[in-house]
A and B are shown apart, each in its own frame.
Chain A
Amino acid sequence: MGKGFKKLRWSRYLMWKELKLRLNILKNNAINSYKVQTAYFFENVAGLGSTLFYTLTQLLFIQILYGNVDTFAGYTKTEMLILVFIAQFNFYVDWLWNTNNLNFLINAIREGDLDIILSRPIPALFFVTFKEISIVNRIKDSLPNVILISLFIDWSQIHTNGIRIVTAIILFILGQLAWHGFRFLFALPTFFIGNARQIFQVSGALGDLKDIPFEGFPDKLKTAFTTVIPSLIAARLSTSVLLGKTQPLPALLLASTVAVIFLILKQVGWIIALRKYSSASS
């Protein structure tokens, strides 16, 4: 009994140490990213300008579209704006997490910086997964856009409930996890062929599904884009559940299975890649 209790306390202590280390990695990476972001003021202003312009063209497109039709793929103008709102948020999370970190990983492999990471007693995969945390930049870029879209939404027209909202949030998170695992696999060829920048960009293009609602896709594409290429889950499937167009439970089951599979594939891919790593630096 006493021994078992001591063992439990020890394993809890180790878990706490591991958690503390990971939090420290996140903190340091966030500080580092912040310093880099604030060092290049004009670059940041330009980034904000381009995303703002993109949002305006999206809103213009919706205005023109709904000037001619009442519904598009079963979505009213308000519902479409909700989709754009969530899709835009999804885009910024993808940029914050995947684009920045996976590009960092590709460069680190190519330039040999991964050597230093691998030589330290840290969870290397966790470190590279969260190396770039440009939260300030992404908030700065996303907030004006998301606020702008929300101003166009007639919130009184939305009929949903608590369960759907919570499910949509969980779906959004699961969709991000699945999408991250998927995109990670496109960065891994760098280990084997020395460069995967273009291959990685293909994964980005596969997620660029414009503002087509979930219901707008034929069934076969729905299946493909929620399983093999999990790009519909985070924004489109979650919006569909939020708006009561898809049942929450099957969506949750599908999203959790896909997320788990892609996270396992990520882990396995990483282990295989490290075995093949030849290290670029000399």
Chain B
Amino acid sequence: MEKAVQVKNLTKNFKIRTNKNIVTGIFKPNYKHVEAVKNISFEVEEGESLAFLGPNGAGKTTTTKMLTGLIYPSEGEAKVLGYTPFKRNREFLRQIGLVMGNKSGLSWDLTGQQNFDFIKSIYQLEDSEYKKNLNQLAELLDIKKLLNKRVRKLSLGERMKMELIGAILHRPKVLFLDEPTIGLDITSKKNIRTFLRDIQHNSNITLILTSHDMDDVEKVCDRVIVINEGRKVYDDYLEKLMAEYNQRKFIKFYFEKAPEKVEVCYAEIVEEIPEEDALVYEVKKEEASQLITTVIEHTSVLDIDIVSIPLEEMIEDIFKKSSEVSTIA
């Protein structure tokens, strides 16, 4: 499989003026250097779907911006589809797409159709190819009837669908998505995630997603790179991450009356909820059934919930561990 993205020791430093005094700042500005991205390396296969995760200011958006050629790296190398992004070669730009949840790539005073006509001329699409793509995408996202409505008059969800069409009308090989579902309602989020998954599978598009919404990541991506304080702290397949963390399960027992604690050596009570007459045990995945049998045998259980660790908590745990490591270092 070809590599869609190759990144080696990528670093980005920003120089920030610290003396903002109106008079002294002119003569003695004083600068501090902030390392937004520190020596990151990774590769992405063609057709893969990757998520960058990290808290605010971790460096994930800066990394995406270096990969799209918007900003120059301070050090290191990046290749996307064989091109050096920051050279902003037109042939390279023709093969990527960028969707930013908080920015619009469309003119709001034009209709969707007028916007797409313009995009057609920018990407120099053939008439037949353009019509076919637009028809297909508009049908998939169910916005055919909205094409002649001004973008300004559309709802946020409808507009985001238009943005997506605008970003992939030219069939990019790599699609960068920065918070594509921010501010959307549940139904719109679901539609967009399904759509992204579909186009990734059907058109072999490489997806690179940045999102704080773990559902986006879970539904759309195969692989995650966790960035914290500019450093890559985790890079593996989502399935593997889930499997690693789901070695342990949380089992919540609801009792008829006040909870009766059954002590077992292989499981631990992690929470007691008197108002619900419930107890939560943490147990290894393979010992979960044994625990359930034991507790049922010894008490009067009304109901049971088996809870996996949510992705959000897994990521939080990775952040914590990486912060501890960097503090020690």
Contact = CB atoms under 8 A, between A and B. Distances in A.
**Number of contact residues on B: which range applies?**
20 to 34
**Binding site secondary structure of chain A:** helix
Contacts of B100: 112, 115-116, 281
Nearest to B119: A120
B42 interface: no
B114 A115 contact: no
Interface string A263-282: 00000000000110111011
Interface string A19-49: 0110011001001100110010000000000
Nearest to B88: A118
B109 A32 contact: yes
A120 B93 contact: yes
B103 interface: yes
Bin chain A's interface residue count: 20 to 34
20 contacts: A21-B122, A28-B107, A28-B114, A32-B107, A115-B68, A115-B98, A115-B100, A116-B105, A118-B69, A119-B69, A119-B70, A119-B98, A120-B93, A120-B122, A121-B90, A121-B93, A121-B94, A277-B71, A282-B56, A282-B102
Nearest to B60: A282
A11 to B, nearest CB: 16
Contact of A116 (B72, B98, B109, B123): B98
Interface of B: 14, 56, 61, 65, 68-72, 88, 90-91, 93-94, 96, 98, 100, 102-105, 107, 109-110, 114, 118, 121-124
A21 B56 CA distance: 38
Given A31-B114, A275-B72, 13 more contacts: A17-B124, A21-B121, A35-B109, A112-B103, A115-B100, A116-B98, A118-B70, A118-B88, A119-B70, A120-B122, A121-B90, A277-B71, A278-B14
Nearest to B17: A193
A119 B110 CA distance: 20
B114 to A, nearest CB: 7
Given A116-B103, A281-B100, A282-B61, A121 B70 contact: no
